[in-house]
Amino acid sequence: MTSFTTAATRKKCEDKREESEKEHAGKEDLRDLQSFAQQVLAEARERGQVGPEGLLATRVPLLHLFARIGRMHDQIDEAFGGQPFQRNVGPASPANVRRFNAYFECHRKVTELLGTAIELWALSCGMKMEDDWVPIVIVYMDHQAAKARASAARAAVKD
């Protein structure tokens, strides 16, 4: 009985170790992606690109994200053989209903990611979501003009 318990315990430990290694590998992939994005943004900061000019630096990582989302859609179609329904079973059968729901849910989640990526792309192109997508460049210029007026008013008061 002791050897069985020890073997079972050893098996549980090995399973947990494999799970943690998989999680660690997934986190490393995320770190690689983050480090790439962070490198691009750090380089933009070093070049003095701030404000709307700094947004241009975010486009490269976003292009990678668009490609990754496209690959996800392709992999979902590949996993389901491009068919949301099985051909040999009726469309209202429980197996086809489950298959369609799984297919649809996978595509829905990836499409939500695409929507978020499109919003980020619009922001990187200088659009502001609030105020009916007013270009950020206009908001930035208004802010700079207000600062210039304020410094001119302070200079006039000092004189």
Digit-coded pLDDT (tens) for 58-75:
777 888 889 999 999 999
CB atoms within 10 A of CB 124: 20
Does residue 97 sit within a domain?
no
Beta strands in the chain (DSSP E): none
Does residue 4 sit within a domain?
yes
Does residue 37 sit within a domain?
yes
Does residue 26 sit within a domain?
yes
Give the model's confidence band at 82: pLDDT under 50 very low, under 70 low, under 90 confident, else very high.
confident
How many domains is the chain partitioned into structurally?
A: 1
Q: What tens digit of pLDDT does each residue of 7-33 get?
A: 666 666 566 666 655 555 555 555 555
Does residue 35 sit within a domain?
yes
With 50 as the cut, is the pLDDT of residue 1 above it? Answer: no
Does residue 143 sit within a domain?
no
Does residue 152 sit within a domain?
no
Structural domain of residue 11, as residue ranges? Answer: 1-48
Does residue 88 sit within a domain?
no
What is the pTM for the complete model shown? 0.53
- Separation between Cα atoms, residue 5 and residue 11, nearest integer Å: 10
